[in-house]
Amino acid sequence: MKENKSKPAPAKSKIREFIEAILTALLIAAFIISFIVQAFKIPSGSMIPTLLVGDLILVNKFTYGVRLPVINQKITDGNPPQRGDVMVFRFPRDTSIDYIKRVVGVPGDEVAYINKRLTINGEPVPTDTLPDYFEEDATRYFKQFQEEQRMKRAVSKLNDHTIVCGYGTTGQAAVRELLLHGTRPDQIVVVDVDENALRATSGLEVVAIQADAAQESTLNAMAIQRAAHVLICTGRDDTAVLTALTVQALNPDCRIVAMCRQQENVKLLQRSGVHSIISPALAGGTLIAAATRQDHIVDTMKDLLSVGGAIRLDERVVRADEVGTSPRALKGITVLRVYRNDRAVDPARLDTLAQGDILVFVAPGNRT
């Protein structure tokens, strides 16, 4: 009886494997370029300083709908273009040329540009003059203008946001902590009269406005009626009082936190509607005095107050499953104080927690 041995399949040649790999890569690349994302190089300086000559950008190809390649047939609608969008499109008179421009008008708008002035539906577009931009390759300055439409668009999305008045050392530290706590950058508004101070917000993606925070018009422009918190870090107690009074008048439900330079102005700030008052002089003096007695108190306090510390100080409302239990029995946290009906209670003297209690506690921090 003869043994039936099947012949092994011939191995693919290396050349064939190489060709198949190249074809697969080309198909994947064609799919990505046609439907997902495509790279473009900026050829001219028409959008300086937003986009510089030679910049490479990746363009989302399905935001405004998906089109079939070659026949250019649209198969999905996507999102309609909005004013302020940066869009890549083919020049109508020569479809081989790609244009990169910012959208200033949408269907139905009447757009005119006369004597270097842009109007939409007969209304001039308000602009803010910015410092001249020096383009190194062209060795000349370009005039900059910021259209208020982009700012209005950002403000229109604000809800339960935090307004930081004053962007000095304290304001910058406050924004940094807010971001570390998980607050979205587009829900933080920074306002300062100093243009140089606002330059420090570059790269943070927060909403920055150069204006006087004590002015009612400024607060209205920052959607104060929808704001959840206002942090007053102006460095002047008289400015803080005026700002707090204006905020209180426009949004009584907004929580106001203010920095107070002089201890004698604390009561004045309280009468102005400020909920929490921070005195850097008092806090700093207390820490300095404590540090003379015990070396590690300052480091511990820095850990408690910073999100990046080994331990953190926090507060929260008692959870449903914690009602009826002792504050000393809670796992993972050390309760320092319990607030019941806005009154502080020593947890050592409290047998059970009740619904609505607020816990102030110490817990492990984020440092590894």
Q: pLDDT, tens digit, for every residue of 83-128? A: 888 888 877 776 777 778 888 888 888 888 776 678 888 888 777 6
Q: What is the mean pLDDT of residues 7-12?
A: 54
pLDDT of residue 166: 93
What integer is the mean pLDDT of 69-81? Answer: 73
Span 336-367, pLDDT tens digits: 999 999 899 999 889 999 999 999 998 887 65
- Give me the pLDDT at residue 138, please: 42
Residue 80 has pLDDT above 90, yes or no: no
Lowest mean pLDDT, pick from 144-148, 228-232, 255-259, 307-311: 144-148
Give the residue from 357, 355, 323 showing the smallest Cα distance to 337.
357
Residue spans per domain, the chain: 16-102, 111-150, 157-282, 309-364
Token pair listed for 48:
């300086």
Of 211, 206, 202, which Cα lies nearest the Cα of 175?
Answer: 206
- Of the ranges 62-71, 80-89, 136-145, which one carries the lowest mean pLDDT score? 136-145
Q: How far apart are CA 219 and CA 248, in angstroms?
A: 11
What is the CATH superfamily name and number for domain 157-282?
NAD(P)-binding Rossmann-like Domain (3.40.50.720)
Instruction: Give the C-alpha separation, 280 to 63, whole Å.
Output: 48
DSSP string for residues in 331-361: SS-EEEEEEETTEEE-GGG--S--TT-EEEE
Residue 141 binned pLDDT confidence (cut-offs 50, 70, 90):
very low
* pLDDT tens readout for residues 256-279: 999 988 888 889 999 999 999 888
pLDDT given at position 140: 42
Least confident of 139-148, 209-218, 316-325: 139-148
> How far apart, in Å, are the Cα atoms of 313 and each of 16, 163, 280, 282?
64, 23, 18, 19
Distance CA 52, CA 48 (A): 5
Cα Rg, the chain, nearest whole Å: 30
Q: State the amino acid at position 53 in one-letter form.
A: V
In tens, the pLDDT along 186-197 reads: 899 999 988 888
The Cα–Cα gap between 248 and 214 comes to 11
The more confident residue out of 207 and 139 is: 207
Q: Are 228 and 164 in contact (CB under 8 A)?
A: no
Whole-number pLDDT of residue 142: 46
> What percent of the chain is predicted at pLDDT more than 90?
24
Domain 309-364 has CATH 3.30.70.1450: yes
Q: Which positions ≥6 away from 123 have C-beta within 8 Å?
A: none
